[in-house]
Amino acid sequence: MDQYAVIGNPIEHSKSPQIHALFARQTGQDLEYRALLAPLDDFAGTLRDFLATGLGVNITVPFKEQAWSLVDQHTPAAERAGAVNTIQRLPDGTLLGDNTDGKGLVRDIEVNNQLPLKGLRILLVGAGGAARGVIQPLLAAGPEQLCVVNRTVSKAEELATLFADLGPISAAGFEWIEEPVDLIINATSASLGGSVPAISTHLIKPGHTVCYDMMYAKAPTAFNRWAAEHDAARCIDGLGMLVEQAAEAFLLWRGVRPETQAVLEALR
């Protein structure tokens, strides 16, 4: 049976095995997908050992940037993102690294949540690997403006410079802007600790601004609770992004893209 896995630390919370089992059943694919815990000091060894026989892996925190340096070639998405969340072992044994996070985010927003990004003013909160991984697909969707905001402004400015050739992107500090926007995307991990980035409540136009947290949990995240308290039009979590990026990985590996709606409903 063809072998696939997700590698991370921690990993026991991962929904990826359940997602890919549902994908495989739906598409009639014969495969096994499991979760692997990698030691923080030996991700490379875990990856090498699995791919001696396995055909592909997903990479989750904190190894995406390290994975980028361990593959033989990158897709354009991974090259820009500077991080790899999907690896395919090619027939000649070389490793192809991809980043499906941005595609998953955009598809969840535009298809699952029926919110076209073209012409929107978007605020992307955070300037770490999660933010960098989604900028290219967001700009490709044609927003009026994508502003990266971060506590350390220089990091946001680095990203704005890096992606300036792809579309209208700018950078700012948390306290710099208060003008309402159409969409706020939280790319920080603050919600995992129950906190909210220190952005102005004036960025939310009541009944209009949509807020999206790339994190997800059983209950609404801290960011989405904050957004709801300030009358955001909609508050969306990252579970749909997780399923959609998984579908993109499945497509790379198996040549077929599964239907995601039934899987997302099952997870909910």
Which residue type is seen at 131? A
Q: Is 112 one of the annotated binding-site residues?
A: no
Element (H, E) at 170: strand 169-172
Q: Is 238 one of the annotated binding-site residues?
A: yes
Six token digits for residue 38: 């990698």
Q: Which DSSP symbol is given to 66? A: H
* Among candidate residues 158, 223, 229, the one with its CA nearest the CA of residue 186: 223
Q: Is 191 one of the annotated binding-site residues?
A: no
Lay out the sheet containing 183-186: strands in order across: 169-172, 145-149, 121-125, 183-186, 210-213, 234-236
Q: Is 205 one of the annotated binding-site residues?
A: no
Residue 193, φ and ψ in degrees, nearest 5: -100, 10
* DSSP states along 207-249: TT-EEEES---SSPPHHHHHHHHTT-SEEE-THHHHHHHHHHH
Q: Is 99 one of the annotated binding-site residues?
A: no
Q: Is 193 one of the annotated binding-site residues?
A: no
**Hey, CA dihedral for 133, 69, 189, 240, is it positive or negative?**
positive
Q: Is 136 one of the annotated binding-site residues?
A: no
Q: Is 216 one of the annotated binding-site residues?
A: yes
Side-chain half-sphere exposure of 2, counting CA atoms within 13 A: 16
Rounded distance between C-alpha atoms, residue 226 and residue 174, angstroms: 16
Q: Is 82 one of the annotated binding-site residues?
A: no
Based on the residue annotation, tell me whether 103 is a catalytic residue of this protein.
no
Q: Is 129 one of the annotated binding-site residues?
A: yes
Q: Is 218 one of the annotated binding-site residues?
A: no
Q: Is 260 one of the annotated binding-site residues?
A: no
Please count the residues of the chain: 268
Q: Which of 64, 103, 118, 205 is catalytic?
A: 64
Q: Is 155 one of the annotated binding-site residues?
A: yes
Q: Is 94 one of the annotated binding-site residues?
A: no
Side-chain half-sphere exposure of 55, counting CA atoms within 13 A: 14
Binding-site sequence positions for NADP(+): 126-130, 150-155, 214, 238
Binding-site sequence positions: 14-16, 60, 85, 101, 126-130, 150-155, 214, 216, 238, 245
Could you list the active site residues? 64
